[in-house]
């Protein structure tokens, strides 16, 4: 029954908020990365046809990429530490190392 409650949107939002609030340095890295990605997409949208041809994309592809929101994704140049933190924040349940530390050993 706990899995139903943990997937309820307010709890998911609260869990995500507490995760990033506990890691202020990584939160600032995340914000800076989203701002850099938005800036890169804005510059892509402002390119003319000649520059789009230089990088091998059509004008329609450039507009489509520029219209995407940077909130749910990381930039390709995001640091590994930030990538690992985002992956950890998206996990369904946080790892609990104490569960394996006690009790019977797992049989293979």
Mean pLDDT of successive 10-residue stretches along the chain, which has 108 residues: 55 81 90 91 90 90 86 85 87 57 56
What pLDDT shows up at residue 13? 78
What pLDDT shows up at residue 108? 54
Looking at residue 107, the DSSP 8-state letter turns out to be: P
What pLDDT shows up at residue 1? 43
What pLDDT shows up at residue 33? 92
Farthest-apart Cα atoms in the chain, separation: 66
Whole-model pTM: value is 0.66
**In terms of C-beta density within 10 A (0-12 exposed, 13-18 middle, 19 or more buried), how is residue 29 classed?**
middle
């Amino acid at each position: 029954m706990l899995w139903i409650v943990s997937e309820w949107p307010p709890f998911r939002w609260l869990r995500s908020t507490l995760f990033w609030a506990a890691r202020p340095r990584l939160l600032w890295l995340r914000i800076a990365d989203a701002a850099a990605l938005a800036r890169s997409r804005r510059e892509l949208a402002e390119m003319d046809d000649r520059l789009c041809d230089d990088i091998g994309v059509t004008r329609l592809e450039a507009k489509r990429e520029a219209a995407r929101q940077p909130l749910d994704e990381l930039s390709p140049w995001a640091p590994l530490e930030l990538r690992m933190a985002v992956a950890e924040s998206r996990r369904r349940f946080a790892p609990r190392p104490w569960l394996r530390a006690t009790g019977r050993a797992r049989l293979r």
